[in-house]
Each structure stands twice: as C-alpha cells, then as structure tokens.
Structure 1
Amino acid sequence: MPPVTEDDQKQRLTQLEARIEAAKKARETGTKRADASHAQGELAWRMVIEMVSGLGIGFGIGFGLDSLFGTIPIFLVLFTLLGLAAGVNVMLRSAREIQAKTEADAAKATADRDERD
C-alpha cells in the first residue's frame, strides 16, 4: 500500500464534506415533499369536513323548524341549501388562506435563494 500524503488526505476530506453536504440537501428536499403531501391531505379533509358540517347543521336546523312548526319540509330544503352555501364559503376561505400561505412561502424561498446568490 503506497503511503498517504497530506494532499491526498485533504482531497479525501474535501470529497467527504461535499458528499455530506449533498446528502443533507437531499434529505431536506425529501422531507419538504413529504410534508407538502401531508399538508395537502389535511387540507382536503378539512374542506370535506367543513362542507359536511355545513350541510348537517343546515339540515338539522331545517328539520327542527319543520318539526316545531309542523310545516312541509320548506325549512329543511331552505336551511340545507343555506348550509351548502355556508360550507362552500368556508371552503373557499380556507383555499384562499392556504394559497396566501403558499405564495408567502414561495416569496420567502425566492428571497432566501437570492440572498445566497
């Protein structure tokens, strides 16, 4: 085995540091992708729950009023439609909130990248 010189050791150390840095970057990007897909799933469930709860509350109020007043299911239909509208409104508000957060994160990432360059 040939003797290892100081230049060889420095070169090997530089290569090792580069490999460690590349592994760290790969790990960070992999974690962000997993978090992003998890966040999208949470958003989807949140929107479904908001829609169903709006419909359920509207249905419950309408059914209760129809039972109380002994009317035909006019309140049931009316409040179910109002619950649907409220659910869609809340879903749109959630979507705008997530979109604003995503745009802010993208702007921050762009600013951070510009600072490094």
Structure 2
Amino acid sequence: MTEKDPRDLDKFDAKLKAARDRIEGRGEGSKKSSYNDSLVAVGYRMSIELVVGVCVGLGLGWLIDMQMGTRPWFMIGLMFLGMVAGIFNVVRLSKDVQRRMDKDKRD
C-alpha cells in the first residue's frame, strides 16, 4: 500500500475545518446567511401568529356558540378579535425586528 501525501491530508483537514465553521456559523459569510435565516424564521412566526389568532378565536367562539345556542355570532365575533390580536402581535414583532436591524446597522 502506498502512503498518502501529508500535504493532501492537511488540505483536506483545512477544507473540513472551514466547512464545519461555516455550518456552525463561525466562518466568513455566515453572518449574512444566519441573518437571512433569522428573517425567514420571523416571517414564519408572523404567519403562524396570524393563523393561530384566527383559529383560537374560531374555536372559542364555536365552543361558546355550542353551549349557548347562539350559532354563528360568538364564532364570528371572536374570529375578528383573534384576527386583531394576531395583527397586533405581527406589528409588535415587526417593530422589534426593525429595532434590532437598526441596532445592528449602528454597531
């Protein structure tokens, strides 16, 4: 069997270390990638906030309507209340994201 050239192993080790650093967020260019990933996560959170607000309002309204026999009224009212709560949460979250982005630009 032939021995491997140590220089090839050193090159391989350097490439492996760079790949690990990139994955763990310590390498060059990782800040932009993690920044975009966090914005995607915020977008998902915003959409989930809206959907959950409407669903919780619909569910609570349906339960109250079943107990009281007032078919669609509480369901409709609490759906709109859940929608408003979801919108307020999205606005609050977007203000927080904007504040963090402004702080990152200043630093």
Do they superpose with TM above 0.5? yes
The CA distance in 2 between the partners of 1:105 and 1:40, in whole Å, is 14
The CA distance in 1 between the partners of 2:59 and 2:78, in whole Å, is 8
Q: Which runs of 5+ in 2 are unaligned?
A: 1-26
Alpha-carbon deviation of 1:72? Answer: 2.5
Q: How large is the Cα RMSD of the aligned pairs?
A: 1.0
Alignment of 1:38-117 (within 5 A): 38-108=37-107
Runs of 4+ in 1 over 3 A off after TM superposition: none
Kindly indicate which of the two structures has a greater share of residues assigned to helix.
1
Partner in structure 2 of residue 37 of structure 1: 36
Alpha-carbon deviation of 1:37? Answer: 1.2
Q: Which runs of 5+ in 1 are unaligned?
A: 1-26, 109-117
The CA distance in 1 between the partners of 2:39 and 2:101, in whole Å, is 11
Q: Which structure is larger by alpha-carbon Rg, 1 or 2?
A: 1
| Residue correspondences, number | 81
Partner in structure 2 of residue 13 of structure 1: none
Partner in structure 2 of residue 8 of structure 1: none
Q: Percent identity?
A: 30
Task: Tell me the TM-score normalized by structure 1.
Answer: 0.66
Provide, for residues 32-64 of structure 1, a one-character-per-residue CA deviation record: whole Å limited to 9, x for no partner: 111111011101111011111101110011101
